[in-house]
Amino acid sequence: MPHPAISSTIWPPTPISPAVKDLLGRFFHLADQKDDNVGTVLAEEVFTPDARFVTATGAFEGKEQIATSRAGAWTVVTFRKHTVDKVYATGVNVGGEGVTTDIVLTGKLETRTEDGGSVSTVTDFAARVVFVGGDDKSGGSGAGWRIREYRAWIGRSERSSD
């Protein structure tokens, strides 16, 4: 069963490995968790050691910076939920760096803050994600695949009450 963040995603006709889809879902699941270890898990199990991770709050390069990238992520935010609406495949390539899958996605990020009570803010976002690796027959979440680059852009926001 897919992670909730990608459960209703529209995927492109270009084949995307189920392991890549699973890793993408796991990434967003982790990003939505209020857990002190999320940065470390992202650095060790989701991203490559030399990855670049760019968000609205900053840019992080390499394992050490990505491990600390979630520090302060929950200082003001009390709830966070990503939903990926649509994925566009820009290419699946086999080359000197192995297999890469390059996607662009659009989605929504719902957040609540300490001072907002039950008021949610829904923000449109887009991201480019470059996966490297390959399908590993040993199984596991995203086995054989890692994210080499994640770059997000945020757009319009709307506030709504529950």
- Quick one: tokens of 90? 């820009």
CATH number at residue 98: 3.10.450.50
Q: How many domains would you assign to the chain?
A: 1
CB distance 110 to 79 below 8 Å: yes
**Domain that residue 140 falls in:** 4-161
Read off the pLDDT of residues 93-106 as tens digits, 9 standing for 90 and up: 766 566 789 999 99
**pTM score, whole prediction:** 0.88
1: helix, strand or coil: coil
Q: What is the pLDDT along the chain (162 residues), one digit of tens a residue?
A: 578 899 999 999 988 999 999 999 999 999 999 999 999 999 999 999 999 999 988 999 999 999 999 998 899 999 999 999 999 998 767 665 667 899 999 999 999 998 878 899 999 999 999 999 976 554 444 458 999 999 999 998 787 765
How far apart are alpha carbons 101 and 98 in whole angstroms? 10
How far apart are alpha carbons 105 and 86 in whole angstroms? 6
